[in-house]
Chain A
Amino acid sequence: MGTAVRTNAAPAWHRRRVRIYDREAPLGYLLLVPTLLVLGIFLLYPFLFGIWLSLTDSELGNLGNFIGLGNYRFEWSNTDGVFYTAVVNTFLYTGITTVFKLSLGLIMALLLNQAFPFRRFVRAALLLPYIIPTVLSYEAWRWMFDPTFSVVNWLLVNTHLAAYPGPNWLGVPFNAMAALMIVNVWRGTPFYAIAFLAGMQVIPLDLYEAARVDGATRWQQFTNITLPMLRPVLLVVLLLSTILTFADFQGPFVLTNGAPYNSTQLLSIWAYQWGIPGGAISLGAAISLVLFPLLTIVVAGVLFLLRRPE
């Protein structure tokens, strides 16, 4: 519509340009077909189907009857408070690890932004936990937290940081939750660091120079230049990381799988346990769908925290 008006008024060279854009729509849609097909069948359809599934009493291969909110009522009231534990743990797990990943990632990025020998090598090494298959590195951590032959405890005892035999990492509720968080921070920090580093490297150096000329201390430069300039990066990184941590499955599955006594239960693990080994696939779907509104709250929270200050 707007195009037609412009075409009439435009000079010849411009008309040609507009005609080229007119022809772009069919090709544009055509190029999207494979992507939309794959995402439609294996992402959008399962998502909508999952909502319906959670309102039925289906089992695998056997579409059941519509039972309204029955599954949700069951998980809410008939599970001895495990639902409550899982929700609280999911929030704690995401919140606490995010704070640590954020601050350690910032420190790591500040360090990597300095000049020192073997910088490329160090940067590559620090990124490793993020690259190596999660499940495999978590197996190593599980061995490091072994109840009797924990090398972590051996180190703690031999450096006199803990009394023999050292904490029982995965067998005590509080310790197990702490262990889950420690390993998540270990794995997730490099992602923050590399993103922050990239963000720092595009900050114009004259800003720092001007600040130094004005006598700003290193700390003032950090809070008044680096942090505000990192805000766009921070937003994207926080968004991705909180969502992935909120729905994290593989790490906690390998390390504790909800044990001991459901004390490290997370919504993702619990949904799996009911849905696949437990066979109650619709109940599992209902549990995992609880993640969705909670995730929306978390995302809204991140966006609110990082809103542009007016």
Chain B
Amino acid sequence: MAAVARLKVRKPGTGRIIGDKFVGRAIRIYIPLIILLVVTLFPFYWMAVTSFKSASELFDFSVSPLWVRQPTLEWYTHLFTQTNFPRWALNTAVVATVSTLISLFCSVLAGYSLARLRYRGADSIGWGIFVTYLVPPTLLFLPLTFVIRELHLFNNLWALILTYPTFLIPFCTWMLMGFFKGIPRELEEAALVDGATRIQAMVRIAIPLALPGILAAALFAFTLSWNEFLYALIFMNDSLVKTIPVGVTQELIHGDEFFWGELMAAALLGSVPVAVLYSFFVDYFVAGMTAGAVKG
């Protein structure tokens, strides 16, 4: 019995194991995968299809609504000429870029310090930062409105640029600590013995070697800020300072009337930047998402 089993063992890692026939694989792998793919992607498909439908076609379910008969760009033109959408896109890009840069600056330094330098309290500070990652914005937004008011930052993009790092820094620091720990200590020690200062060792050796991690952290921070909703909803009331998520949900709905074509066009356009970023850097994303999970 054991000998038979041994004969059937194939090259490991190919996923082909005992009893591997096409029908078996189809039932076990392909059919579930196709179902998962359809369910996962359908909302995006529906978003796209809706955005190209004319007003009359939108509400015509007498024939299959899954296809567009007369594609039109009227919603897109309307979005760019009649709404502040281009401005929201600009705001979102500015806020996401600047808050990402600030968060990276802080968390590269903090991550290096916590992962590499030895001093009293480093461990507890590291845990403290991890715990702040577990404090959701839902707990903070109401008192934060007071802080933002004191700083006179309502309707000012700085309100977002300064508050987004509260959830970006803990995440990025935690992620970068993992990457810094993965760099062999000897590389830096050799430089130190050769007379380099600690700061030189950090800037010339550790940070360049951690670049993949920094890139992963940057992608994550950018995506998280691009998607942020709660703070932007509360701190930005003037139409010209809104971000895409807030502008789309608050201004493209007029009372009880939903302009679904326009809404879906905006949703699609608002998703494109992160989708493109993501498709280019999928592996960095995955590395970033799992850095904490696997190493933690």
A residues with a Cβ closer than 8 A to B are: 16-17, 20-21, 23-25, 27-29, 31-32, 34-36, 38-39, 41-47, 49-50, 53, 60-61, 107-108, 111, 113-116, 120, 122-129, 131-137, 139-141, 143-144, 146, 148-149, 151, 154, 186, 190-191, 194-195, 197-199, 202, 205-206, 208-209, 212-215, 218, 232-233, 235-237, 239-240, 243-244, 246-250, 253-254, 267-268, 271-272, 275-276, 281, 284-285, 288-289, 291-292, 299
Task: Give the distance in Å from the alpha carbon of A292 to the alpha carbon of B119 in the complex.
Answer: 32
Provide the residues of chain A in CB contact with B187, threshold 8 Å. none
User: Which A residue sits closest to B107, measured CB to CB?
Assistant: A35
Task: Give the distance in Å from the alpha carbon of A194 to the alpha carbon of B250 in the complex.
Answer: 33
Task: Give the distance in Å from the alpha carbon of A205 to the alpha carbon of B294 in the complex.
Answer: 17
| B264 lies within 8 A of A139 (CB) | yes
Provide the residues of chain B in CB contact with A141, threshold 8 Å. 43
Decide yes or no: A34 and B105 within 8 Å by CB, A141-B43, A186-B39, A236-B296 being known contacts. yes
| A35 lies within 8 A of B260 (CB) | no
Provide the residues of chain A in CB contact with B239, threshold 8 Å. none
User: Which B residue sits closest to A155, measured CB to CB?
Assistant: B66
Task: Give the distance in Å from the alpha carbon of A218 to the alpha carbon of B8 in the complex.
Answer: 14
Judge if B23 is at the interface, Cβ distance under 8 Å. Answer: no
| B17 lies within 8 A of A132 (CB) | no
Task: Give the distance in Å from the alpha carbon of A270 to the alpha carbon of B208 in the complex.
Answer: 46
| A20 lies within 8 A of B192 (CB) | yes
Judge if B127 is at the interface, Cβ distance under 8 Å. Answer: no
| A198 lies within 8 A of B294 (CB) | yes
Which residues between 216 and 255 of chain B lie within 8 Å of chain A, taking CB atoms?
223, 226-227, 229-230, 234, 244-245, 248-249
| A194 lies within 8 A of B1 (CB) | no
Q: Which of B2, B140, B248, B292 contacts A213 (CB 8 A)?
A: B2
| A39 lies within 8 A of B132 (CB) | yes
User: Which B residue sits closest to A254, measured CB to CB?
Assistant: B249
| B245 lies within 8 A of A31 (CB) | no
| A53 lies within 8 A of B146 (CB) | yes
Judge if B27 is at the interface, Cβ distance under 8 Å. Answer: no
Judge if B190 is at the interface, Cβ distance under 8 Å. Answer: no
User: Which B residue sits closest to A185, measured CB to CB?
Assistant: B39
User: Which A residue sits closest to B126, measured CB to CB?
Assistant: A32
| B165 lies within 8 A of A122 (CB) | no
Binary flags per residue of B152-183, CB closer than 8 Å to A gives 1, else 0:
00000000001101100110010000000000
Judge if B149 is at the interface, Cβ distance under 8 Å. Answer: yes
Q: Which of B36, B46, B165 contacts A126 (CB 8 A)?
A: B36
**What are 17 A-B interface contacts by the 8 Å CB criterion?**
A27-B198, A45-B147, A132-B271, A132-B275, A134-B227, A135-B227, A140-B46, A144-B43, A154-B61, A194-B289, A198-B286, A206-B12, A209-B12, A214-B2, A218-B18, A272-B141, A276-B145
Provide the residues of chain B in CB contact with A113, threshold 8 Å. 15
Binary flags per residue of B112-137, CB closer than 8 Å to A gives 1, else 0:
11100111101001000100101111
| A131 lies within 8 A of B267 (CB) | no
Decide yes or no: A134 and B147 within 8 Å by CB, A47-B139, A215-B2, A243-B134 being known contacts. no
Judge if B33 is at the interface, Cβ distance under 8 Å. Answer: yes
Q: Which of A27, A32, A148, A271 contacts B199 (CB 8 A)?
A: A27
User: Which B residue sits closest to A129, measured CB to CB?
Assistant: B40
Interchain nearest-CB distance for B196 vs A (Å): 11
| A288 lies within 8 A of B139 (CB) | yes
Interchain nearest-CB distance for B291 vs A (Å): 9
Judge if B30 is at the interface, Cβ distance under 8 Å. Answer: yes
Judge if B211 is at the interface, Cβ distance under 8 Å. Answer: no
Q: Which of B15, B40, B114, B138 contacts A249 (CB 8 A)?
A: B138
| A143 lies within 8 A of B275 (CB) | no
| A125 lies within 8 A of B41 (CB) | yes
| B46 lies within 8 A of A151 (CB) | yes
| A125 lies within 8 A of B136 (CB) | no
Judge if B205 is at the interface, Cβ distance under 8 Å. Answer: no
Provide the residues of chain B in CB contact with A31, threshold 8 Å. 109-110, 112-113, 117
| A135 lies within 8 A of B245 (CB) | yes
| B61 lies within 8 A of A149 (CB) | yes
Provide the residues of chain B in CB contact with A149, threshold 8 Å. 58-59, 61, 65
Q: Which of A20, A111, A132 contacts B44 (CB 8 A)?
A: A132
User: Which A residue sits closest to B274, measured CB to CB?
Assistant: A131
Judge if B81 is at the interface, Cβ distance under 8 Å. Answer: no
Judge if B16 is at the interface, Cβ distance under 8 Å. Answer: yes
Task: Give the distance in Å from the alpha carbon of A180 to the alpha carbon of B106 in the complex.
Answer: 36
Provide the residues of chain B in CB contact with A206, threshold 8 Å. 12
| B44 lies within 8 A of A140 (CB) | yes
Provide the residues of chain B in CB contact with A38, threshold 8 Å. 102, 106, 162, 165-166, 169
Task: Give the distance in Å from the alpha carbon of A107 to the alpha carbon of B166 in the complex.
Answer: 34
| B294 lies within 8 A of A233 (CB) | yes
| A35 lies within 8 A of B173 (CB) | yes
Provide the residues of chain B in CB contact with A268, threshold 8 Å. 138
User: Which B residue sits closest to A34, measured CB to CB?
Assistant: B106
| A195 lies within 8 A of B290 (CB) | yes
